[in-house]
Amino acid sequence: MAIAAARGRSRRRPVGIPFAWALLSLALACLSGCASLVGGMAADTLQAAILDQNDPELVASGVPAYLLLVDGMISRSGDNEDLLAAGAQLFALYGSRFEPDPARVVRLTEKARGYGERALCLAHKPACSWRGLSYDDFVSQLQTVDRKRIDYLYAYAVSWLSYLDATSEDWSAVAELPWVEAALERALALDETYAEGGLHAYLGILNSLRPPALGGRPEVARQHFERAIELSAGRDLSAKVEYARRYARMMFEQDLHDRLLMEVLAAPVEAEGLTLFNVLAKQEAEQLLATSGEYF
């Protein structure tokens, strides 16, 4: 199913200090044992620096060091929900987009999922006992999460999704998808504009995983993709790529497919919080366009 995980980031502004300083303060903070005070903030800065990067190779080679750092900080300050949420998204991002070895992808995203669960549990106590809930109970529990906790709900859902994507060969991943979808639906109900419309993009993907004959809802998927593009004012190129790859291919709409991808190739990559994904989206758009004639 290859779902692009951790594609958005929280809308909190990253702290306004240069990245090297952030790293230094992070290291100092770790050394001085007060990581819990700055951990979340520093991890957020890391995340911003990564997501605004236009060189995927640099991210691929550089991020593992940050992951180790974040891991170390979490082991010292395991009760910092901001740090855990950032860790969940970083591990999900690296695992699902950059790590080539499938076995390691499973390990990385499993860790992401664990951090996401812990973050939400710290921020919203009832969530500590959500694992194993029946679908209906889970959906009713989600109603207890309010807007103030959306960062953690988002980190929880996308890190879980990254794990399901990594383990998509197993039937448990197929089985758990409705739970993740419900969590994303709840976040969407709290704030549909969150993560530049990224929630809509994820729901677009989930609703186009199955064809209509197997219970998929392409029309719902289409509406989500359209809204994701609208909310990001067209700056989120990966929403267009997923729209083409998932919806247009499934519905055999070649005109839509090719139009979306041409738009991606013509658009600028630089967009705050989206640059890295936009660079990757352009690469994917080229590949999808190259196989368009063969597919349709």
Partner 1 sequence: MSRAKGGCPGAFWVLAVLTACAMALPAGAAELKVATIAPDGSQWMRSMRAGGEQIKERTAGRVVLKFYPGGVMGNDSQVLRRIRIGQLHGGAFTAGGLAERYPALNLYGVPLLFNSLEEVDFVRARLDPKLAAGLEAAGFVSFGFSEGGFANLMANEPIRNVDDLRRKKIWVPEGDAISFLAMESLGLSPVVLPATDVLTALQTGLLDVVANSPVGALVLQWHTKVRYRTELPVSYAMGIFALDARAFDSLTAEDREILREVMGGVMRDIDRASREDNRRAAEVMTNTGVAPIAVTNTDIEGLRSTIETIYPTLRGRADVDVAMFDELLAVIAEFRAQQAESSPADPGR
Catalog residues that contact partner 1 under the rule CB under 8 A: 1-2, 132, 134-136, 169-172, 174-178, 209-216, 249-252
Counting every residue written for the chain, the total comes to: 296
CA 29 to chain centre: 27
Nearest residue (CB) to partner 1, 65 versus 290: 290
| Shortest spacing between CB 47 and partner 1, in angstroms | 29
Task: Find the shortest distance in angstroms from Cβ 255 to partner 1.
Answer: 15
With left for phi above 0 and alpha for psi between -120 and 50, is residue 234 left, alpha or beta?
Answer: left
Q: Which of 167, 155, 162 is nearest to 124 (CA)?
A: 155
Complete DSSP assignment for 113-182: HHHHHHHHHHHSGGGGG-TT--HHHHHHHHTT--GGGHHHHHHHHHHHHHHHHHTTTSHHHHHHHHHHHH
The least distance separating partner 1 from the CB of residue 98, rounded to whole angstroms, comes to 21
> Is 2 or 28 the residue whose CB approaches partner 1 more closely?
2
CB 175 → partner 1: shortest distance, Å? 5
Q: How far is the CB of 176 from partner 1 (least distance, A)?
A: 7
C-beta closer to partner 1: residue 32 or 287? 287
Q: 1 or 220, CB closer to partner 1?
A: 1
Nearer CB in complex with partner 1: 3/42: 3
Give the shortest CB-84-to-partner 1 separation in angstroms: 26
Residue closer to partner 1 (CB basis): 7 or 249? 249
Return the number of the residue (30 or 209) whose C-beta is nearest partner 1. Answer: 209
Query: How far is Cα 263 from Cα 243, in angstroms, rounded to an integer?
Result: 12
Long-range contact pairs involving 32-38 (C-beta distance under 8 Å, separation at least 24): 33/76, 35/73, 35/76, 35/77, 35/80, 35/83, 36/76, 36/77, 36/79, 36/80, 36/83
Least distance in angstroms from the C-beta of 202 to partner 1: 17
Neighbours of 253 (CB within 10 A): 17
